[in-house]
Structures are given as C-alpha cells and as structure tokens.
C-alpha cells in the first residue's frame, strides 16, 4: 500500500512524498494508521536545520541519505505482525514513530490510549 510521509533532501526543506508500506507488518511489528504526530523541538528541528553533526549544513545535498523524521505518533492499529499479542487491530495507541500516514512500528515503544484521551494529547506523551 502507499502511505504519505515527510522527508528532507536538504536543510530547511521538507517534502510530502508517497512511500510503500506493506499491507501486513513483519513478525513482531505493528502497522499503525496515524492520526496525529508530534515534532521533537530538539533533535528533529536541529536535523531539519542541518546543524547536527550527522546532518551538517556543510553538505546541503541529502538525496543519497534523506532525513525521514519521526518522533511520536498516535493512531489506530491497522494490523499486527506474527507474534504480537499485546495489541489488536483497532486498538488506539501511541509511541515512537515516523511522520507518516501509515507506518510499521515496533510495539515495544507503544502503549494503549484510553478513549478519554485525544490523539492530539496522546501524541505528546513520548
């Protein structure tokens, strides 16, 4: 399936692009439909600006190794990989994940989100 994600190919620029995501997550992983993602005001902004050691603005062409940011995501489980027992399709969850419409994520960094908590608030928990 196709998903949308953000990626940077140079400092201070971000593109919305289409990316391939498997219909079924690999064993031990989750497939999550994102409702809200949160931006890290520290590391993600520094990488976007090209001021980290790894993303030096001295090399403004990141096409060979684009920056695909991700920090915190809240959404619903679309599918679970083989061996995942803590979550089921439809569960409301939040944890570490990319800025993408759908993503494969590691369930060990995810928790359930109570119905009384909005996805916007849940995305801020990371």
Query: Residues 81-123: pLDDT tens digits?
Result: 999 999 999 999 999 999 999 999 999 999 999 999 999 999 9
Instruction: Give the containing element (helix H, strand E) for 30.
Output: strand 30-38
11 DSSP β-pair partners: none
CA distance 83 to 24: 13
Helix spans in 28-118 (H):
43-49
Q: Are 5 and 101 in contact (CB under 8 A)?
A: yes
Query: Residues 3-15: pLDDT tens digits?
Result: 999 999 999 999 9
Find the length of the chain: 126
- pTM (global) more than 0.85: yes
| C-alpha torsion 118→34→6→67, nearest 10 | 90
């Amino acid at each position: 399936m196709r998903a949308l994600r953000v990626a940077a190919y140079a400092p201070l620029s971000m593109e919305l692009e289409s990316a391939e995501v498997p219909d079924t997550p690999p064993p031990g992983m989750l497939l999550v439909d994102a409702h809200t993602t949160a931006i890290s005001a520290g590391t993600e902004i520094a990488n976007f600006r090209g001021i980290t050691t790894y993303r030096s603005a001295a090399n403004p062409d990141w096409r060979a190794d684009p920056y695909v940011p991700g920090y915190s995501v809240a959404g619903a489980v679309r599918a679970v990989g083989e061996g995942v027992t803590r979550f089921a399709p439809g569960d409301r969850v939040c944890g570490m994940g990319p800025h993408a419409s759908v993503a494969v994520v590691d369930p060990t960094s995810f928790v359930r989100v109570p119905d009384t908590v909005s996805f916007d608030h849940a995305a801020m928990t990371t």
